[in-house]
């Protein structure tokens, strides 16, 4: 019986045009994994495209090889074919004109005439014949690419790659490795199962970057001996570790550093430091020239600097229909599942972050959510 890796490679080799998709709120590990997979498929001689709805939020990873290949829009997903029966009448000329929301095709016959019964239309094949999702727990987490192309997702073979226990196994092949601390580890194993020499310096750099991002430069308590062994192999294969460290940690943009400073200045704690939170107002964003897309970096810094915290929350003020509202990024240790507890706040999980929102103003939402989290932690074993 073939292993999952063998099944995946077999499906890839049977395909000619492959779409790689990551969640709408993909983290750095998922993006680096997707790029590594994209480069691997190119080495196999396959046509491939990689899609991210929110790639601009990961602009700090623009140094990664082929980052510019990531698409935010996908065109030509399926051909629409209009067929004209020319058995009785031949065509002299074809042209088209656009009139408002209509595209009119003008067909001039050589002799005789055409009738409506001569025309048929139908949908052709989809542009891609294989989908690979990286880091998505379910199809809805993919965002607009799924919402706008549901028929494509249900009619096209799909390989689901992830390391999260909440994965709904929505693919024809579900490669879910709960022992891997990052999706980049899974892609490394997949590429290596084809041949070690398939992993060149660019692929190794993407994979090591994903691991470094996921483990906060190998400082998280979830790090395993296997992860360290994988990292060592990637460096031996030519991964550019110094470049990664320089780009990720030694060249933070000034606005990120400023907004991080404001978050640190307002840092609060409860439950013996196991619950930490901060809140940012619209004024903070204005004075630092930062945007909410910068906040995952701020949370990453908080996680790296507060290892004892079991839950970290970064609240921020937003506007909803002209009224003050609240958004938040929540990070919890791997054994803590907050989806049910925070269900009233429209939670969406992505990697190690939970995104929530509330119609309440910042101070009121912060108080209500922190109280719920405190009650939750009090009931948990120490």
Cα angle vertex 333, ends 332, 336, to 5°? 75
Q: What is the pLDDT of residues 271-329, one digit of tens each?
A: 999 999 999 999 999 999 988 888 988 888 888 778 788 999 999 999 877 788 999 99
Dist. CA 297–CA 56, nearest whole Å: 13
Q: 282 and 175 in one domain?
A: no
Best CA proximity match to 359, nearest among 324, 328, 330: 324
Mean pLDDT of 187-198: 90
Q: 170 and 98 in one domain?
A: no
Dist. CA 274–CA 311, nearest whole Å: 6
Q: 210 and 132 in one domain?
A: yes
Contact 22, 160 (CB under 8 A): no
Q: State how many domains the chain has.
A: 3
Q: 19 and 156 in one domain?
A: yes
Q: What is the pLDDT of residues 220-256, one digit of tens each?
A: 777 888 999 999 999 999 999 999 998 887 767 788 8
Q: 324 and 281 in one domain?
A: yes
pLDDT of res. 303: 82
Pure H helices in the chain: 4-14, 28-43, 144-147, 150-155, 183-194, 201-214, 225-236, 241-249, 254-265, 282-288, 295-305, 362-379
Q: 174 and 152 in one domain?
A: yes
Structural domain range at position 360: 254-379
Q: What is the pLDDT of residues 120-170, one digit of tens each?
A: 887 778 899 999 999 999 999 999 999 999 999 999 999 999 999 889 999
């Amino acid at each position: 019986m073939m292993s999952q890796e063998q099944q995946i490679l077999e499906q890839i080799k049977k395909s000619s045009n492959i779409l790689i998709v990551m969640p709408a709120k993909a983290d750095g590990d998922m993006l680096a994994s997707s790029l590594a997979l994209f480069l691997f498929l190119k080495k196999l001689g396959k046509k491939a495209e990689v899609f991210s709805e929110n790639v601009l939020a990961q602009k700090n990873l623009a140094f990664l090889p082929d980052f510019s290949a990531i698409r935010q829009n996908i065109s030509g997903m399926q051909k629409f074919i209009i067929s004209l029966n020319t058995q009785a009448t031949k065509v002299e000329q074809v042209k088209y004109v656009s009139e408002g929301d209509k595209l009119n095709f003008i067909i001039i016959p050589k002799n005789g005439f055409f009738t409506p019964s001569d025309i048929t239309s139908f949908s052709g094949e989809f542009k891609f014949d294989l989908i690979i999702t990286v880091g998505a727990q379910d199809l809805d987490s993919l965002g607009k690419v799924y919402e706008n192309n549901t028929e494509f997702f249900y009619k096209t073979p799909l390989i689901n790659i992830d390391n999260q226990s909440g994965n709904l196994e929505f693919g024809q092949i579900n490669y879910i490795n709960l022992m891997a601390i990052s999706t980049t580890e899974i892609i490394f194993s997949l590429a290596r199962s084809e041949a070690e020499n398939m992993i060149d310096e660019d692929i190794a750099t993407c994979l090591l970057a994903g691991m470094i991002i996921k483990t906060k430069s190998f400082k998280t308590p979830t790090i395993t001996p296997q992860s360290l062994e994988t990292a060592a192999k990637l460096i031996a294969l030519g991964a550019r570790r110094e470049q990664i460290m320089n780009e990720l940690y030694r060249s933070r943009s000034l606005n990120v550093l400023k907004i991080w400073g404001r978050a640190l200045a307002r840092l609060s704690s409860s439950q013996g430091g196991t619950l930490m939170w901060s809140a940012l107002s619209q004024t903070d964003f204005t004075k630092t020239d930062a945007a909410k897309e910068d906040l995952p970096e701020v949370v990453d810094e908080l996680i790296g600097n507060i290892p004892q915290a079991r839950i970290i929350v970064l609240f921020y003020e937003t506007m909803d229909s002209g009224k003050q509202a609240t958004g938040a990024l929540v990070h919890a240790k791997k054994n803590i599942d907050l989806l049910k507890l925070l269900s009233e706040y429209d939670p969406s999980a992505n990697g190690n972050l939970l995104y929530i929102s509330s119609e309440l103003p910042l101070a009121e939402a912060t108080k209500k959510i922190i109280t719920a989290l405190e009650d939750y932690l009090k009931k948990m074993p120490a």
